[in-house]
Amino acid sequence: MERFEFGGEIVWRPTPEYAKGCRLGRFIQRHGIANLEELTRRSTVELEWFWNAVMDDLRIEFYARSRRVLKADLNLRREPYGEDFGKRT
């Protein structure tokens, strides 16, 4: 296969043991999520929860604590970075 095509044949699937032990598997377990489909749903419906959880999981720290990681009611087409991370230049 020269190039990857989305929607094409899946060439590798992790074993259940591997999936449980990987970082994503531990994230899912830590948050009491049943499976990848539930995580996908929550990550697109509960945006503020998801990005806070990701920032905590990756231990990303800033010099100054932000008020919010994501302003979920923001019109993303107008100001994609939100007011807490500064304006787009």
Q: How far apart are CA 39 and CA 33, in angstroms?
A: 6
Chain segment 8-20, per-residue pLDDT in tens: 777 888 898 998 8
Phi, psi of 75 (to 5 degrees): -75, 100
Q: What is the pTM of this model?
A: 0.63
Residue 62 pLDDT: 79
pLDDT of residue 34 exceeding 90, the answer is yes
18-33 average pLDDT score: 94
Q: How far apart are CA 45 and CA 69, in angstroms?
A: 15
Chain segment 43-86, per-residue pLDDT in tens: 988 888 998 899 899 998 878 777 776 666 655 554 445 455 54
